[in-house]
């Protein structure tokens, strides 16, 4: 039985694990978006020919591109605007929607797709 969470289950999991603190929400959002974009880049450009050198090269390229800094700036702004009360319960759906929005905004489509 594979774990295949719905959006609501994922948002609940993130909330439970990170307990709604701004810093924790920022960290998990950044981790998820960065991981997905790096994996997309690594497997999108290298296709099935991923070598042991690919991950560090892709990560270095990702950092140099400035996308990471832009994403983290967007996340900090989102969290500051969304959670005016530092210890308020986070609106889970908004966090999930923002993660998806950032991935769509910064993810490079596979070659041949527009």
Has residue 69 been placed in a domain?
A: yes
DSSP of 21-46, one letter per residue? Answer: -HHHHHHHHHHHHHHHHHHHHHHHHH
Has residue 85 been placed in a domain?
A: yes
Evaluate if pTM is beyond 0.75: no
Has residue 14 been placed in a domain?
A: no
Has residue 40 been placed in a domain?
A: yes
Has residue 48 been placed in a domain?
A: yes
pLDDT in tens, 61-111: 889 999 999 999 999 999 888 876 655 665 667 888 899 999 999 987 766
With CA atoms as reference, report the closest residue to 96 among 24, 29, 17. Answer: 29
* All residues at 6 or more sequence positions from 3 whose CB lies less than 8 Å from its CB, including other chains: none
Please, are residues 59 and 5 in contact by the beta-carbon 8 Å criterion?
no
Has residue 75 been placed in a domain?
A: yes
Has residue 5 been placed in a domain?
A: no
Host domain of residue 95:
22-106
Domain total in the chain: 1
What percent of the chain is modeled with pLDDT above 70? Answer: 67
Backbone region of residue 85 per phi and psi (left: phi > 0; alpha: psi in -120 to 50; beta: other values): beta
Has residue 76 been placed in a domain?
A: yes
pLDDT given for residue 114 in this prediction: 42
């Amino acid at each position: 039985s594979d774990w295949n969470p719905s959006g609501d289950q994922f948002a609940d999991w993130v909330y439970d694990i990170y307990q709604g603190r701004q810093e924790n929400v920022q960290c998990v959002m950044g981790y998820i978006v960065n991981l997905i974009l790096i994996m997309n880049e690594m497997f999108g450009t290298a296709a099935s020919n991923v070598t042991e050198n690919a991950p560090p090269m892709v990560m270095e390229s990702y950092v140099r591109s400035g996308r990471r800094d832009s994403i983290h700036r967007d996340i900090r702004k989102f969290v500051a605007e969304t959670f005016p009360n530092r210890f308020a319960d986070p609106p889970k759906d908004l966090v999930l929607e923002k993660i998806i929005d950032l991935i769509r905004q910064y993810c490079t489509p596979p070659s041949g797709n527009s």
